[in-house]
Structure 1
């Protein structure tokens, strides 16, 4: 079982994701719709079962009589009534579903905008705005302010993915060559687990993300820290790790702002040490987890695009110390 289970998730600090444990306006609307549909369908099922039992019970004692035409008329009326009720129920569900779906697409011009890219098998995130100096990138962990609408611009870069944080909003696909949008809003501070909801390959189940909703002041401090370049290491071992990181192919795939590493194939690692998890929710971010991931990423997450980079034990310890210090 992943170390992620130790991370408190959800509005009630649970470690699950549920469309019935909701803390976002869109998710609340969807929950009400789900409960209504289940309740109505349960009543319909019980009515059908009772009617069937009564019909079977009466059939044993029914004898042909001159009242057969009257019985046929009653059966015809019952069938017509059932058809009308079915049309009304389905029509009502359709209208309510349309209303609930519209709630997923309400966005304002002043919303915080985050570009979300789905890749096999991780999430690339870019906080965008009118001022280019305010933009920054991160991965697999979305921070949002409580009580503010956030607009997610969804893009798929390889195959179709689906973004879903059930406690906050509904699902929306990330389709290559097409840009979709999904508003998200948290009414309560907490850590909410999300998941890719569209089968996207062998590691689909290991493509999770966290949405961390926090007060506006805390969000502003986090965002200001994320905009900063990586702090140069002062520890001797971490400094050696930086040199190894730049000497090896790591910088060809990853970016660490403030260094010569400017790759765009893999996640931005500028502040990777401050994230709760690595490998898209698979491991808790510790120096040991970082070392294990670097040493053999294919055993931990088979099929991912990170190659095995040969490192000596001393180099591995140094690189893991450097990455763990990127906060």
Structure 2
């Protein structure tokens, strides 16, 4: 039983707010991999140590002010000050620092082959998968998937502003700096969905720069990656065909790429398999028709200073057709 569950069992009524962050897809107290488990252990040790020190120091304070109020000699007083105020903190803090530093190398250990390049944009995530031996990346956006049970290397950079990639349930955070590449490796173990977030204030839409992270069984990940590398599916219904025509006529392909079509833009997110993703607009909306229509028509009302202009001149029928085409991109 985890520490959070034990506390809940002891006091289920008085601590709901305190324990609200102990669970959920973006909780550092719900480790889903080796790196997050190490950080969780570090947190527990530091917390227990802080509680023990607090109780000990306050116990001594109570003892000398309430129980034993006799006057001490100068030598005895100096011994207490040096022992409790200098030697004990130095030993405790030094030991914790040495132990904490000893677990850091694993956070930078080499990956097992798969490399994922992530670029922080305004305000979304460009994601490129580089399997071993690949000549070109498999491009996606606003979602990062990992195979469970192996260490994946993340190579990070940014386009304009400094960002920071953080998936609390899988490991620590790492800054993304324009013109520089930083490296973070993660070893997720538990399959499931985890939420990531930009952890560095980067501008007007910083709070709306999130993403879904999915940890999959290795075979499932390989099948998903093969599907991700394939071209987009063709529109099947008259409404989807009309939506593709609107996509072309409105110049959407100048910014967005859809592999297997004439659309090869690179300014915005790759939309080849948009409908297979679990969120829209960097983690803030659902990939379903109403949200797609609202996003297309009101981008800058929803996400301030986003580069994509709002297509508010399209009528409801045109927006529905365009959304139907995007929904077909599985």
TM-score (norm 1): 0.89
Q: Which of 73, 95, 98 matches 1:95?
A: 98
Structure 1 residue 220, shift from structure 2 partner:
1.2
**Match status 1:44 vs 2:53:** yes
Structure 1 contact 134–227 (Cα < 8 Å) conserved: no
Specify the alignment match of 1:158 in structure 2.
160
Equivalence for 2:126: 124
C-alpha deviation, 1:131, in angstroms: 4.0
Q: Give CA-to-partner distance per residue, 1:109-145, whole Å, 9 cap, x none.
A: x421100111221111000145445621111111111
CA contact (8 A) 2:25 2:193 kept: no
1:25 equivalent in alignment to 2:34: yes
- RMSD, aligned CA: 1.7
1:86 lines up with 2:52 in the alignment: no
The structural deviation recorded for 1:266 is 0.9
Distance in 2 between residues matched to 1:58 and 1:221, nearest whole Å:
70
Q: Greater CA deviation, 48-57 or 258-267?
A: 48-57
- 2:13 aligned partner: none
The separation in 2 between residues aligned to 1:16 and 1:227, in whole angstroms, is 27
SS state at 1:163 partner: strand
Which secondary structure does the structure 2 equivalent of 1:277 belong to? Answer: coil
Structure 2: distance between partners of 1:37 and 1:112: 34
Aligned-pair distance for 1:288?
1.3
Give CA deviations for 1:6-30 in whole Å, capped at 9, x if unaligned. Answer: xxxxxxxx64411111021011111
1: CA distance between counterparts of 2:130 and 2:34? 23
Give 1:286-325 correspondences, 5 Å limit.
286-309=288-311, 310-325=313-328
Q: How many residues align?
A: 306
Q: Deviations over 1:42-75 (max 9, x none)?
A: 111111212222232268x547xxxx6xx21111
Contact 1:123 1:139 in 2 (8 A): yes
Residues 33 and 100 of structure 1 are in contact (CA less than 8 Å); yes or no, is this contact kept in structure 2?
no
SS for the counterpart of 2:103 is: helix
Instruction: Describe the superposition over 1:282-304 as per-residue Cα deviations: whole angstroms up to 9, x where unpaired.
Output: 01110111111001111222221
5+ residue gaps, structure 2, are: 1-22
Inter-partner Cα distance in structure 2 for 1:217 and 1:239: 34
Match of 2:44 in 1: 35
| Alignment partners' CA distance in 2, 1:111 and 1:23 | 20
Superposition pairs for residues 215-294 of structure 1, below 5 Å? 215-294=217-296
TM-score (norm 2): 0.88
Alpha carbons of structure 1 residues 292 and 262: separation in structure 2 relative to 1, 3 Å: same
Contact 2:113 / 2:132 at 8 angstroms: preserved in 1?
no
